[in-house]
Chains A and B, each alone.
Chain A
């Protein structure tokens, strides 16, 4: 039994236990237990990982295990983690944990909600631990499908439309991925699906030219790459709180992670050749998302566009293809995951009280619900990159890294991307000013209550994570950077 597989198994066991649960209390208890176990487990994993590395184990992936799964195509269930995966696993665990608490009072059908929720999470965990292309794809799909039901059943507003749109667009992306995975498989020799082994081989450059854009776009759809991002505003706006959290917090990271792990790692030559196209697209994403967010009036739309902007920055940094920027990309994934989860949690909580998400209908909430108000401000500050909170470290690492590429295109795009910090400030402060400060717009809001204990757990956990990442970034950035170095080495060799 491999240690990493527990990450996939715990959600499945939780599923079974949930199936047996009788009432809401038991359901919540089981879900919370499962999520807590995962959180603890990721803590243990981090410790073990750092310990192994400190002991001098410098193989590319640790805790390797391979189980033959389908011999004719050499598909293995093979797992292994490096610093990037560990970072992602921590993120997923934190968001799972807080997501469970944020949906403590989910209605209707709590049992079914958590069933799908945990199934989704097992897909996400599987995606991050596996290093077999096919298993990766399979876990990707497992993570995708529950989303349709979660949004379609428990969502708000135009939920069927959004769920359909989201699923179809992501499925479209995964269709591209399937093609490229098969392409990679056949052109790398056709006898292994293992990422590490494929990385040792050479895919012909002519083939890479076709496969790289397919792969990058396939993952880019999930990473909200312009112009494939439009599922994000609608999807996030309609999704229930915990699903928005998990989706924006973790699922969108699957895109960045995959682009980094598959597209760039396996096809470095084409990546170098075609980076400029995608750099322009991501550069557009960054600015465009930010500008779009400025005039939105729905809180979730603002946040969704903000996610487009921030996730654009992730892909942007990955495409810079140097060690610093890529480290920054992973940090940004973590940071964005945490803060956007916090945002969506808070928006959900505010919406649960005011029954509106329109910023024009709210005001002066700081006075009525100080805890949520202050937390919202903290999330906003993290989002606009305040030092001491996670956003700053990530963005600065990206900008410093991006600035190391000295040709004109990279320079211009970097400077364009940097300007997003101002626009971010504009829309964040606009929202904060409108909904939290000022006079109470709706007299009925006067009587609303502040956060309950489970909401506080969720919010406080996220804030702690954000502050921890933001004020003591060295250990995690080191961990990530050390894992990125071999990949960058391969990239440099391909140049």
Chain B
């Protein structure tokens, strides 16, 4: 079972490195690419957690859909080859300080507390049928209402996106 661990640490390393690179890169298109790596690595984590369905959705929606949107947006709004003008040093320093503080703060808390509730439960993959019935069910711990809400919202988003983006 070492292999699972090794895979996890590789994924963790990928996520850590690329997420930092994604937010600090000078070029938008590179940022987007790094984001793609991060998202894919996240999908890998879902696989490790045995959430295959989630893995699929992550790949399809994020890596497939959203990234395409991003790339188009970047292509539409950026002059090719042009770096983004660097932000003021002060702003960056403050952002680093704050996020660093937050990271340390949360890290300390997690380090001190989470291990106490640590136990791993081996579990099999959730069957898609169960996902389907739970998503469409009306009982307790079933999610028809959020599902419908999300679907209406998706519709609204589509309409909205078209309304906003169309040429007048």
Q: Does chain A touch chain B in the assembled complex, meaning CB atoms less than 8 Å apart?
A: no
Interface set of A (CB-CB < 8 Å, partner B): none
